[in-house]
Amino acid sequence: QSVLTQPPSVSAASGQKVTISCSGSNSNIGENHVSWYQQFPGTAPKLVIYDDEKRPSAIPHRFSGSKSDTSATLDITGLQTGDEADYYCGAWDSSLSAVVFGGGTKLTVL
Amino acid sequence: QITLKETGPTLVKPTQTVTLTCTFSGFSLTTDRVGVMWIRQPPGKALEWLALIYWDDDKRYSPSLRGRLTISKDTLKNQVVLTLTNTDPADTGTYFCARLYQGLDTWGQGTLVTVSS
């Protein structure tokens, strides 16, 4: 059971928008930054969002992040088949003194 | 260009100690606010944080594995070493190291460790 809760799967049509949620608590998302990672099968995760909403320079503007209270969200607009991957959220948990990850969300582009 | 690469044994027997090395280039582990983290992923499962070492040698460990993990750095060799003692088949998975700066901004390719007799 992961400390951060993500839906196991989401899907949306090509060209549309999808939202992936990450729910936590005051000790993690509530008071620390959230990062998001994209992982294709058999490869290492790749950072797509850090500090809740910042995007590495190589990541398209189609990817955006936000946070409110103890929940964070990753939005992907203009979905492409190449976006099909697993997505993980992560944050520091001040109570556990540990990095915590969500269980991952599998994105399917229809 | 920043790169990290994990090396270590692919197969270990239960109860043995496994030592994994993360060799990196393109950055220094003496730079303020930089860290190197180890994360593992059992086959078909989610990411699990293991340990973190900062530029100032501050070290943090997963509470669930505390006592079995040791992380250390060699700044001259640009390496971070993780040891995991008393291994169990449940420790089977791909082990990644990653640079922590603005998020885990660069990851190694990972190394698969199988714990089996």
pLDDT in tens, B22-69: 999 999 999 999 999 999 999 999 999 999 999 999 999 999 997 999
Distance in angstroms (rounded) separating the CA atoms of residues B4 and A84: 25
Indicate whether A1 pLDDT > 90.
no
Do the Cβ atoms of B49 and A100 come within 8 Å? yes
Distance in angstroms (rounded) separating the CA atoms of residues B26 and B18: 27
Q: What is the DSSP string of B32-93?
A: TT-EEEEEEE-TTS--EEEEEEETT--EEE-TTTTTTEEEEEETTTTEEEEEE-S--GGG-E
Rg, C-alpha atoms of chain B: 13
* Least CB–CB distance from B104: residue in A47, A96, A102: A47
Q: What is the mean pLDDT of residues B85-101?
A: 97
The two beta strands, A46-49 and B18-25, are unpaired
Average pLDDT value over all residues in chain A = 97
Do the Cβ atoms of A104 and B46 come within 8 Å? yes
Residues 2-61 of B with CB under 8 A from A: 37, 39, 46-49, 52, 60
Asked whether the beta carbons of B29 and B77 are under 8 A apart, the reply is no
Nearest Cα of chain A lies from the Cα of B34 at a distance, in angstroms, of 15
pLDDT in tens, A93-105: 999 999 999 999 9
Indicate whether B116 pLDDT > 90.
yes
pLDDT in tens, A42-87: 999 999 999 999 999 999 999 999 999 999 999 999 999 999 999 9
In chain B, residues with a C-beta closer than 8 Å to the C-beta of A56 are 102-103, 105
Predicted local confidence at residue B1, as pLDDT:
95
Tell me how far the alpha carbon of residue A10 is from its chain's centroid.
12
**Which residue, A16, A6, A33, is CA-closest to A109?**
A16
Average pLDDT value over all residues in chain B = 97
Nearest Cα of chain A lies from the Cα of B71 at a distance, in angstroms, of 15
Predicted local confidence at residue B66, as pLDDT:
78
